[in-house]
A and B are shown apart, each in its own frame.
Chain A
């Protein structure tokens, strides 16, 4: 089955295993080549034009319910379905993939003062339940926090590949600047808090901005809607603890620089 799938699956295809409890066995059997981090820890399914669903019996992935069935095949108790996305949004460039030393700068900004964060290679750092997202071996060190690509558990305990970029607090602003990004028509993004921060309402209020790089950071106008697009302020919902506060946003393409500030 694995070799057959490897022959069929295109890099742009999504591979999912249903029901969700079967997925660990799917990852064991299909391996990292098919179960890439981009597929397993995807932000959503919209970017994939085609999905290959391996399922047990009649199990279906709920997010693929409206996708068109193109092909179906059985392997014993398992079924393989090729599904086509009725409304795909192909991604020209992925900012998470640019979260490296050569393609992204990270700094802490307070007024005019800009303190660059240092890119370091080290050991990954993990911990027990409640530790938060793992710190990858390659990451930016920003005084008492870090920025880098990791996998976050969202409020439903689903894996989300993302850039960990916590607001530094106080008057300080965390700035991530990508050096070279190809643009399409829209900037499509998601953000979420680490599940325990969100559900236990530990997170502080913060704001996320995307700004055009042609403007100087320190100019007040960069914070206006005219120069950049301000996203809604986000804080964990006060009562609805089990509601996902993950946001999905769609912005005009000229915006490239997210700023996270308290």
Chain B
């Protein structure tokens, strides 16, 4: 029995169990904290999509021929067809299974949100495995923790949206590709192809992944290039071929909308994302609503929203790898290259994963309205470098504490790890449920972010907080409320689930409401000014704050 729990040096099934346990714990944690976060704007659309797609899944069982007819597909899958179907299908199936059939959740939202939460757990699991295989189990554990303990990751992990699912699938896809290179064989290659298809069917970030795989594959085969050139051989990793062939097939097969009129619909899909509307986003006190986007946005927002200790350790870990890479380059130039320690170059893969994830924001044409969520795919890999950086630091600590006994050195190392994790944990917990308003202490926290003119929220998810803190107690029976940026489907579900008092009625204009909410974003000021005219007052009756910074103001008709 004791042997069962002893971890061998090789990473194996026990690590999978450990990773799975972490994934389950993360999912449970997210489920237990989800009630505090109101339904974001996009969740409302995906709730509707999932409910609609459920009709198709039911038809698939009861009347398959009708389910596959173009008329049925167009009617059901036409809604929200600008995004692929996989994650919305999971929301739908989760709702059918855990809310409608087995009644595991009393609230539909928990069932809708479960797949994204579980995939957040998968992201943690895969990050652990990657870290454990490339560095050490400790590094894997630390990387998994540092990734999750980022306030905006923690916020988005709760939502029935695609942002954490794409992080999970992006990381898993890179992991499977790397394993296929390490292990070889058709099975791994096919798996890489399938997972890439699932990633494509999650979010359009997946189309950037070739920018990770192709340079890495060249690096892996580079020592054979000269000979292959002579022998007229093109050595291509099987997994790349599988991803190129199987991936698009899986993408197509799992998205019924694409089954008919495929070319035109694909074109429409790409057109939508290549020419996406620019929504408003405040940055350094300016409201950006069109190209050119500020190039400083991504680096500053990463620095301002990812725990500084994570970034510092990432710099340590990545810095050491850069030094190694420079040495490699020198050796390559001098033709003195020796067999590398890891011929699959995992560090380079991590670096490419980060660069590919963030590089669109170096272009002024890329919109910035998503805040940090659109490049969160870089974060597991930054956490992996950070974990490596911490390991290097601990090694350095050991070399300093030579006079200490092994036991006390272990205590010191444990304390360092605890301190490293304590900061991100504290800041992540403190930010909840206002993760989007959270900024790191060097910025001055939420107040500092507001003073710098950085965005505090989007998607209007804070109506629930306005209700909890004021409307529930003070609004008269049947009062009307201008719900501002909250989507109608989100508002309706919050009413259905008792998050907002059921007698309150949402309205679409401030002057129609007994109460009017304004979710503070710079460009939303104009709606607040309307309230001043409509209600004849500049004074809200209540303000929801986070760290004393206004998040939602509530106006009352005099």
Contacts and interface: CB of A to CB of B under 8 A. Distances in A.
Given A21-B450, A21-B550, A157-B287, A131 B530 contact: yes
A158 B525 CA distance: 8
A126 interface: yes
A152 B525 CA distance: 10
A133 B529 contact: yes
Given A40-B538, A59-B451, A129 B523 contact: yes
Interface string B522-536: 111111011111100
Given A133-B533, A153-B526, A128 B543 contact: no
A129 B485 contact: yes
B289 A126 contact: no
Q: Which of B287, B529, B545 has the largest number of chain A CB atoms within 10 A? A: B529
Given A127-B508, A195-B526, A24 B540 contact: yes
A199 B531 CA distance: 22
B398 interface: no
Contacts of B451: 19, 21, 59
A151 B523 contact: no
B315 interface: no
Given A24-B550, A59-B451, A241-B290, A152 B529 contact: yes
Nearest to B449: A21
A199 B451 CA distance: 24
Interface stretch (A5-13, A31-39, A46-54): A31-39
B530 A134 contact: yes
A132 B485 CA distance: 16
Interface string B447-489: 1001100000000000000000000000000000000110000
B525 A28 contact: no
A60 to B, nearest CB: 11
Contact of B524 (A22, A37, A124, A129): A129
B530 A133 contact: yes
Contacts of B533: 124, 126, 133-136, 150-151
A41 B526 CA distance: 12
A159 B290 contact: no
Given A21-B450, A24-B520, A199-B289, A127 B530 contact: yes
Interface string B516-558: 0000101111110111111001111111010011100100000
Contact of B537 (A30, A32, A123, A157): A32
B510 to A, nearest CB: 4
B33 interface: no
Contacts of A194: 526
Nearest to B289: A199
B286 interface: yes
Nearest to B551: A24
A25 interface: yes
A126 B530 contact: yes
Contacts of A151: 529-530, 532-533
Nearest to A242: B286
Nearest to A18: B451
Nearest to A128: B508
Q: Which of B290, B509, B522 has the largest number of chain A CB atoms within 10 A? A: B509
Interface in A142-198: 150-153, 157-159, 194-196
B363 to A, nearest CB: 19
Interface in B117-137: none
B539 A25 contact: no
B205 interface: no
Q: Which of B511, B522, B549 has the largest number of chain A CB atoms within 10 A? A: B511
A27 interface: yes
Q: Which of B290, B484, B530, B545 has the largest number of chain A CB atoms within 10 A? A: B530
Nearest to B537: A32
A115 to B, nearest CB: 26
A128 B531 CA distance: 11
A63 interface: no
Given A22-B550, A150-B533, 10 more contacts: A24-B550, A30-B539, A133-B526, A134-B531, A134-B533, A151-B533, A152-B529, A153-B529, A157-B526, A195-B526
5 contacts: A19-B450, A25-B548, A32-B537, A32-B539, A241-B290
The 3 closest A-B pairs by CB, nearest first: A134-B533, A153-B526, A134-B530
